[in-house]
Amino acid sequence: MFSKKEDFLMALKNEHMATIKVFEMIDESKKAVKLNDNLRTLERMAWHITQSVTEMPHKVGLVDEDYLDNKPIPATIKELISEYKKYGKMIAESVKSKWTDDDLQKGTNLYGEMWKNGQTLYAIIVHEIHHRGEMIALMRALDMKVPGIYGPAKEEWSNFGMPAME
């Protein structure tokens, strides 16, 4: 849970940069491949992450509407990234202008439970991290390169003069 909005804004910035790195490595020719009926495609997962940028913030009054609800997946990953950046910036600006640190302790009924606003901000970030991890696993299964996020990816170890870890 976040108790200071500046801590959230820094975490949001870092995680959004990491998500953009993942989105940028999606191969257009493989974005719609469905590995099995129990898995989403990469483009659907990326769009779900993007739609979530406004869904929870709308429920807690940070934005006036859930701008991406029921919108179709953009035609290209480049367009999807543009939407992600646009609404990610909007959410950061809304937190800056609408909430104080004290507001993070206030509660909102969310999904049938009382959540403190700081808990909602935490959920926004970990939800994105969770699905980004799923995307990286799908990318690996589709023989795509992935970026290092919290450390080097397998392909990046050579940049440090080291063999890839097994």
Within-domain flag for 152: yes
Within-domain flag for 63: yes
The secondary element (H helix, E strand) that includes residue 110 is strand 107-110
Within-domain flag for 72: yes
Residue 126: give the domain boundaries.
Answer: 5-160
CA triple 53-152-122, angle to 5 deg: 30
Tokens 């009382």 identify what position?
114
Contact (Cβ atoms closer than 8 angstroms) between residue 128 and residue 52: yes
Within-domain flag for 104: yes
Assessment of whether the complete model's pTM goes beyond 0.85: yes
Within-domain flag for 165: no
pLDDT tens for the 166 residues of the chain, in order: 899 999 999 999 999 999 999 999 999 999 999 999 999 999 999 999 999 999 999 999 999 999 999 999 999 999 999 999 999 999 999 999 999 999 999 998 988 999 999 999 999 999 999 999 999 999 999 999 999 999 888 888 777 777 777 7
CA 104 to chain centre: 21
Within-domain flag for 124: yes
Between CA 21 and CA 116 the distance in angstroms is 30
Between CA 54 and CA 38 the distance in angstroms is 25
Between CA 128 and CA 80 the distance in angstroms is 15
Within-domain flag for 166: no
Candidates 23, 144, 124, 35; CA nearest to 74 is 23
Within-domain flag for 92: yes
Question: Tokens representing 19?
Answer: 């998500």
Give the chain's domain count. Answer: 1
Between CA 50 and CA 47 the distance in angstroms is 5
CA triple 119-120-122, angle to 5 deg: 65
Q: What CATH number is given to the structural domain containing 23? A: 1.20.120.450
Between CA 154 and CA 146 the distance in angstroms is 8
